[in-house]
């Protein structure tokens, strides 16, 4: 698994994990019992991230090259843009069937997450 942009891939992953475990009583002390949650969250995150090819406000290139957080504007863009994606991913993924097997099964919901995120970015105010 490789993200086009780790900032957004990780945000989508966090939202997908939260959507799966929210409201559940996690009781197993065996790590592998959570393998399916991780697998499905990674598949969903990869499908979402694939739609965000590049964002010059948080990175210098695709993948993991972050902009140096030397200004409050750069720091705010890092925080708010990824937090918004995490929140939308969580909302769109909550209550869904998580039994899918491949990333392609998440294509439609990934497109919805991306569309909502793209529009909601217009409401962000950064310093």
Compute the average pLDDT of residues 108-113: 94
Determine, yes or no, domain membership for 114: yes
Q: pLDDT tens for residues 31-42?
A: 999 999 999 999
Return the closest-CA partner of residue 124 out of 81, 89, 71: 81
pLDDT recorded at residue 38: 93
115 found inside a domain: yes
Domain span at residue 117 reads 6-123
Query: How many domains, in total, are found in the chain?
Result: 1
- The per-residue pLDDT of the chain, averaged, comes to 85
Per-residue confidence (pLDDT) for residue 24, from 0 to 100: 83
pLDDT over threshold 70, residue 1: no
Claim: this prediction has a pTM higher than 0.85: yes
Q: What is the distance between the alpha carbons of residues 45 and 1, in angstroms, rounded to a whole number? A: 10
Q: Do the domain assignments include residue 14?
A: yes
Q: What pLDDT does 49 receive?
A: 93
Nearest residue to 52 (alpha-carbon basis) of 116, 103, 3, 17: 3
């Amino acid at each position: 698994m490789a993200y086009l942009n780790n900032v957004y891939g990780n945000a989508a992953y966090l939202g997908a994990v939260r959507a799966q475990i929210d409201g559940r009583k996690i009781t197993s002390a065996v790590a592998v019992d959570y393998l399916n949650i991780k697998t499905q969250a990674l598949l969903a995150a990869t499908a979402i991230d694939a739609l965000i090819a590049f964002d010059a406000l948080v990175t210098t290139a695709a993948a993991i090259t972050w902009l140096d957080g030397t200004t409050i504007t750069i720091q705010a863009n890092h925080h708010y843009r990824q937090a918004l994606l995490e929140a939308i991913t969580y909302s769109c993924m909550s209550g869904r069937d998580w039994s899918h097997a491949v990333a392609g099964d998440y294509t439609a919901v990934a497109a919805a997450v991306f569309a909502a995120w793209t529009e909601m970015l217009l409401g962000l105010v950064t310093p």
